[in-house]
Amino acid sequence: METVSENKCFGGVQGVYKHSSAATGGEMTFGLFLPEEAEETPVPLLWYLSGLTCTHENAMVKAGAQAWAAEQGIALAFPDTSPRGPGVADDDAYDLGQGAGFYVNATQTPWAPHFRMWDYVADELPKLITRNFAVDEERQSITGHSMGGHGALTLAMGLPGRFRSVSAFAPICHPTAGDWGRKQLSAYLGADETTWARHDATLMLREVGLEIPLLVDQGSDDQFIDLLMPEALAEAVAKRRVPATLRLQKGYDHSYFFVSTFIEDHIAFHAEALYA
C-alpha cells in the first residue's frame, strides 16, 4: 500500500492511499479519515459510497463530513466507484464503465475481469483497512449518495450483521425498473433478470427486510428523482413495516450542496448506532 497524501484535519488525519487490488485486477485508490481518537484506540468506521462519475475524492472534499466525524470520534472510508486505467473496459456514456461500477460483480464481457466492486467494497478493502489502520471491524456503518446510496442499501441488506446502521442521500432505489439500473445491470450481469434482484434495494427490502436503523434523505427538486424512484422504496418500507426515517427535503437537488447540508444528521444517526 502506498501513501499518496496525509493531511491534518479537524485534529485527525485525512489520508489518500493506493494499493494493488486482487478483486479488480489493478490499482485502486481510497480515502480514509481517522479522528484524533484513533491515535489511542480503534474507532468505529462509516463507509461512504459515491455516485456516478465520482472518484474517492468527491465526498472526501465536498461533503464536509470530517468535521462531524471528528466530533463523534468516527473514521470515514471513501472508496472509488470503479476500477480504472488503460486496461480497464470503459464506455463513452457517463453512466457505464469507469466511474460507474454500480457496486456489483460483473459477469459479462468486457466488464468481468475488473468490475468486481461488490467484492472490493464488501471484502477486500475492509480487510485492508482493518489490518493497517486503527478502526474497529465490529463497529461499522454505511452510507452513500445516488449510485452509492444504492450500493449502501444493497450491501447492508446483502451482508446481514456487517453494519450497525445504513443511510443514503438520494439513492437509486429501484434500478431493475428504471433507466439508471436496467442498462447497467444488463451490461454487467447479463439478460437474466433474476441475477439483478440482489442489487435492487426495493426488491431486497420486500424480500428480506432490514434489521438495522435506516435513514434516507431525498431532495424534492432533485433533477433525477424520476430515475431514483424513492416512492418505490417508501412503499417497500411500509409494506414490510421496516422502522425507517424517510425524509423529502423541500427545494434540494441532487448535488453535494444537498449532501453537505444533511451530512451532520447522518453522521449523528450512525454515531448513535455505532456507540450503542
Grid cell, residue 152, equals 449502501
For residue 50, indicate whether it is catalytic. no
Q: Looking at beta carbons, which pairs linking 82-89 to residues 24 or more positions away fall under 8 Å?
A: 82/115, 82/117, 83/21, 83/24, 83/25, 83/26, 83/28, 83/114, 83/115, 83/117, 84/26, 84/27, 85/26, 85/27, 87/26, 87/114, 88/26, 88/114, 89/113, 89/114, 89/115
For residue 145, indicate whether it is catalytic. no
- The helix/strand/coil state of 92 is coil
Catalytic, out of 199, 222, 266, 270: 222
Measured CA to CA, the distance from residue 94 to residue 115 in angstroms comes to 16
Catalytic, out of 114, 254, 266, 270: 254
Measured CA to CA, the distance from residue 71 to residue 13 in angstroms comes to 13
Catalytic, out of 21, 141, 146, 167: 146
For residue 146, indicate whether it is catalytic. yes
Continuous H helices in the chain: 57-62, 65-72, 117-119, 125-132, 147-158, 179-189, 201-208, 225-228, 230-240, 256-274
Measured CA to CA, the distance from residue 256 to residue 195 in angstroms comes to 32
Active site residues: 146, 222, 254
